[in-house]
Amino acid sequence: MKDKNTVIGIVLLAILFFVFFWYTNKEQSALATYQQHQADSLHLDSLRKITPQQKAAATLDSLHRDSVSKQNSAGNFSNAVNTPEQLVTVETDLIKVVFTSKGGNVKSVELKKYPSQTGGLVTLGNGAKDAISYNINTGSGSSASTDEMNFTASQPVKNADGSQTIQFALMDSSHTGIVHQFIIKPGSYMIDWNIQLNNAPKLITGNTVNFHFVSQMMQVEASNDYERRMADVCFSEGNEFDYISSHTDHSFEKPVQWVSAVQQFFNSTLIAKNNFNTGKVSWTRSTDSSLVLGLVDANLQMQVPASASVNIPMQLYFGPNDYKILQSAAPNMDQIINLGRDMYSFVRPINKYVITPVFNFFAGFISVYGWVIALLTFFIRLVTSPLVYRSYKSGARMKLLRPELDTLRKKYGTDQQGFAMEQMKLFREAGVNPLGGCLPLILQIPIFFALYSFFNSNISLRGQPFLWSHDLSTYDVLVNFGTKVFMIGDHLSLFALLAVTTSFLISLYNMNMTPQDPNNPMLKYMPFIYPVFMLLFFNSLPAALTWYYTVSNLITLGIQYTIQNYILDHDKILSQMHERRKAPKVKPKSKWQEQYEKMMESQKKVQQLKDQEKKNKK
């Protein structure tokens, strides 16, 4: 009894301590909230008491301090600090480039042939944090970034070859300084950027230029979430392609040829013709609801010759992820287009040497891309038909065996091992491969992954309408929920529903043809469960892919129906089965069949021993 009272006392004491600490913490939190509220109120009161004149004076003082700070860091180039920003626009048939004297660089690039899903034309390099700059020595013990300096802009000059040249200069009184020369060519998304350093030893330390490349990628496609998933950072290091998708940063250990901020269908790339020597790049994917997809921040070091005058040839690419264009842009840049990477890299040759050429061939004489995809589907099914025909034929034969399998099931009852052995014998006599139906499914896997990569990265599908879909490169919308629904998203896709429905019909057809095991009732629910999970995955996929899947499923249904009703002679198959049974020797067993039968025989003996032990115990 004493022990019982002790336990009760300890429990009550623990409860009291818990209540005490909970109440004390609650009071302290309330007090802190009250004090914060009082402080906020006093702060607001003090702000209300500030007159407009005082606010203006404070602003001017802040601007003055900022100006003084910039003047100090600008050193010998102090005259370039307070010069007003000047914008210069250069246009070609493909792009409209806005240059700024602040930093003497590109401010934005508008792509004339590509409308943005968020309004207007696709514009790159216009993020609030976008910058391409490097540090220079501005005087004794002072340095500044070029994007803090206002260069002197010249007017664009048209050259004999149709290209245009524009220059930005930053010079001190001793003619020490920088000249940025940009050459914009017609029919090209590439901008040549030549940097000339006059009196380089005075401008840079240790013959090293430290470049800072920042790209804030903005949404231009219909789905913010999907475009974010497709965005990443690509680069060429040691003349080998690599990228960052899930990792946050990467340190370069080999010379770097280029670094690219890649969106689903567009990219902004900094190219060094003489390579960067070292550096580091970080990638931050946005998680909020803004139009910002993510931020690329790269610091890249370049060693330059130890001479008074240094020329640094660079290039800037602002344009589409078009395979042919990127092939000629810079080495390995065509790999920006994701035709298969990492564990799915085995599908890249399929896309590169089969899917892409066939797709382009059909697109050469058919303008509606939905029908191009349909013809591509027929081509794929035609090529793979010799591999799957026998499996479809074997699956159709399974239906003929249902009466005999039902008889065997009744005969063996709960003896699953005995039934399995007789079932294998029956399959062998009928020439049926029980695993034959798996081949079409297995064959679909690499094809599906290949087409998933192909349709996600094929810019020619962007903005292409088909039937009710306005854009084959993204999902179509049958119903817009107006808000995100758990797992399914904010919409319902009709093409996804068709793909799921046709897959459901195939499952029902196969279930009707394949003998079902009554001891496993869950199998009869699989055709209903699978489409639900399939819809969750397919609902946000590009309409091109779900349309392909729909056409492929319709072809499958047509093939299975034709084989079952017009090709197979049921009476002939049954007659062949009876003839095989009468023959003294049937087709030799395969090693797999022999091993399977041995395994079933051993399991049968184990089960018999267990049954015997149960009888002995009784």
pLDDT surpasses 50 at 17:
no
Q: Which residues share a beta bridge with 249? A: 282
Q: What pLDDT does residue 66 have?
A: 47
Rounded to whole angstroms, the Cα distance separating 187 from 137 reads 38
Mean pLDDT of 24-49: 57
What's the CA gap between 576 and 582, in Å, rounded? 10
Task: Please state the rounded mean pLDDT for residues 433-461.
Answer: 77
Confidence label for 99 from pLDDT (cuts 50, 70 and 90): very high
**φ and ψ of 207, to 5 deg:** 55, 35
Residues 568 and 520 sit within 8 Å (Cβ to Cβ): no
**245-268 pLDDT, tens digit each:** 877 889 999 999 999 999 999 999
Judge whether 105 and 194 are in contact, CB under 8 Å: no
Tell me: the pLDDT tens digits for 520-539? Answer: 555 566 666 777 777 888 88
Chain segment 278-312, per-residue pLDDT in tens: 999 999 998 887 889 999 999 999 999 888 889 99
| Tens-place pLDDT, residues 583-607 | 645 455 555 556 656 666 666 666 6
Q: Is 604 exposed, middle or buried (0-12, 13-18, 19+ CB in 10 A)?
A: middle
DSSP 448-505: HHHHHHHHHH-GGGTT--BTTBS-TTS---SEEEEEEETTTEEEE-HHHHHHHHHHHH
The rounded percent of the chain whose pLDDT value lies above 90 is: 37
8 Å CB contact between 618 and 611: no
Asked whether the beta carbons of 151 and 104 are under 8 A apart, the reply is yes
How many CA atoms within 13 Å lie on the side-chain side of 524? 8
* Distance (Å) of CA 450 to CA 82, 354, 380, 453, 458: 55, 10, 12, 5, 12
Measured between alpha carbons, how far is 430 from 576 in angstroms, rounded to an integer? Answer: 7
Residues carrying CATH 2.70.98.90, the chain: 77-337
What value does the mean pLDDT of the chain take? 80
Mean pLDDT on 195-224: 91
Residue 566 DSSP code? I
Closest by CA to 168, choosing from 101, 254, 232, is: 101
**Alpha-carbon gap, residue 411 to 407, rounded angstroms:** 6
pTM: 0.76
When pLDDT is cut at 50, 70 and 90, the band that residue 1 belongs to is very low
- How confident is the model at residue 139, as a pLDDT? 78
Residues with Cβ within 8 Å of residue 71, at least 6 apart in sequence: 78, 81, 82
Q: Which fold has domain 77-337?
A: Beta-galactosidase; Chain A, domain 5 (2.70.98)
156-190 residues labelled b (16+ CB within 10 A) or e (exposed): beeeeeeebbbbbbbbbeeebbbbbbbbbbeebbb
Averaged pLDDT, 431-448: 67
Mean pLDDT in residue range 318-332:
93
